[in-house]
Structure 1
Amino acid sequence: MKDTLDWQRAVFKLSGELLAGEGGPLSERGLLFFAQEIKAAWEAGVELAVVPGGGNLIRGADLPFLPLTAGHAMGMLATLINGVALREALANLEVPTTLMSAVPWPGVAAPVDPWQARTALAARQVVILAGGTGNPFVTTDTAAVIRALAFGAQGVLKGSKVEGVYSADPARDPQAKPIPKLTPNEYLQRGLGVLDQAAVALAGEHGLPIRVFRADRPGALLAALRGELGSLIA
């Protein structure tokens, strides 16, 4: 195991689906697990921002009876629900945390402010960034890349249920092979789907690396920060 970290400041995109469990779409076990993972990274000295997804609660694309803009707005609110829950879980572990949202809610979440976020990160606070970008048709994957660029992060960590990037969807194709490293152009040309293509294109344009890894195993977040697992798009 490496002792050194590849990135000292990073944005962790946490799939909302990983927060679900037997207790429902937002489980105590899932929250505690990821709060502990984030705390371990924080204790290791990482300046970490977290972008939660909202897929455990709702997906706008799954509501065909509503306009897409309405479904996406509901999805953004779902990320704020996850953000509030994650903040409380981290507070219980005595991790100083700031919650910001692109859909601000006075008394609950402050508006996203890059300067304040950078200041909070430098002051050893975990920064949770809810609400995506505040715009419909933009995924939380892309939001994570935008925030990383705005905050001077060295990379984006995409936490998911799969080990990394594969040649095809491993859930559908038993012949799918893991790809340890590939360039953004290779990812886009092959039409891969574990990460939103707009996010990969934007990261590639600015030279921002993305590591895709399976996040639901103990120690995975810190191992990903050390470059020990997952796939690197760079």
Structure 2
Amino acid sequence: MSETATQAESPTYKRVLLKVSGEALLGGREYGLDNATVKAIAEDVRDTVALGVQVCLVIGGGNIFRGVAGASAGMERAQADYMGMLATVMNALAMQNALERMGVQTRVQSAIEMSSICEPYIRRRAIRHMEKGRVVIFAAGTGNPFFTTDTAAALRAVEMGCEALLKGTQVDGIYSADPRKNPSAEFYTRLTYLEVLARDLQVMDAAAISVARENGLPIIVFNIHEPGAFREVMLGHGRFTTVKDD
């Protein structure tokens, strides 16, 4: 293989965090996990790791329980958020199972200690796992109520020294409106952090955007359901939106 071809297939980033919403695991279901969807995402993670990329993940829990929804139904917000954190642990274990069935060594680290089923979150241990080629899944958010898993993803990405935060969504990037509802919505190839906030594009919450901006962490938004999209984005291919300052 020529040097040019080799360079063309080199990943853009060497260490990244992938944020996947809990809803992304639903598939065609209204609640819970769709095994085929979990497997498809795991395959994409496996193929990305095969490029030599160090990968960690944060998975939301909205397919099982959303703290905000519980609070709006009358629950105490902190209690509802803790329940949501437990939902993220369930999703993390499901993804770990899918990855390890494919031969990918995986560790789950939880911000809330559950020593019988996963490791506690320890920053230096997590970094060492990734250096050894293991995928690390961070569960239970930040371990604190009132913070979303988007914010947890931005925080963990910075703590891990990741070069980018990837947000796998239901569409292929950031639009001026939901393209599934508004076919004329404008697609953005590149935005700054302040543009995302000023236009209220809601791809991630304001706290997550602020953490990324303060630390110069690029956010890349793509369609998690497009087969092989994670790997393709790592190679600079496909359709996606990049959020970073010029």
Tell me the TM-score range normalised by the shorter chain.
over 0.9
1:188/1:201 contact within 8 Å kept: no
Residue number in structure 1 paired with 2:197: 188
Q: Does 1:226 align with 2:235?
A: yes
Q: Secondary structure at the match of 1:4?
A: coil
Q: How many residues align?
A: 234
Structure 1 equivalent of residue 211 of structure 2: 202
Q: Deviations over 1:154-195 (max 9, x none)?
A: 000000101111112334433311100011011111111121
Note the C-alpha offset of 1:226.
Answer: 2.2
Q: In structure 1, list runs of 5 or more residues that go unmatched.
A: none
Conserved? CA contact 1:98–1:128, under 8 Å: yes
Q: Give the Å deviation of 1:22.
A: 4.0
The TM-score with structure 1 as length reference comes to 0.96
Deviations 1:66-90 (A, max 9, x none): 1111111111100000001111111
1:115-194 alignment, distance < 5 Å: 115-194=124-203
Q: Which residue of 2 aligns with 1:66?
A: 75
1:197–1:227 CA distance, 2 compared to 1 (3 A): farther
Q: CA deviation at 1:197?
A: 1.7
Q: Aligned residue for 1:104?
A: 113
Match of 1:21 among 17, 21, 27: 27
Instruction: Give the alignment's TM-score, normalised by structure 2.
Output: 0.91
RMSD: 1.4
Q: Which residue of 2 aligns with 1:44?
A: 51
**SS of equivalent to 1:44:** coil
Give 3-state SS (helix, strand or coil) of 2:174's partner. Answer: coil
- The aligned residue for residue 30 of structure 1 is 37
> What do the CA deviations read for 1:179-221 (whole angstroms, capped 9, x no partner)?
0001101111111112112111110111100001111011111
Aligned residue number for residue 89 of structure 2: 80
Point out the more displaced range, 105-114 or 165-174: 165-174
Whose radius of gyration is greater, 1 or 2?
A: 2
Partner secondary structure for residue 48 of structure 1: strand
Q: Give the letter for the 1:4 counterpart.
A: S
Summarize deviations over 1:41-63 as a string: whole Å, max 9, x none.
Answer: 11111100010111111111222
d(CA) in 2 for partners of 1:223, 1:15: 20
Distance 2:140 2:127 in 1: 18
- The amino acid of 1:231's aligned partner reads T
Among candidates 10, 21, 26, match of residue 16 of structure 2: 10
Matching residue's letter, 1:45: G
Distance 2:154 2:93 in 1: 21
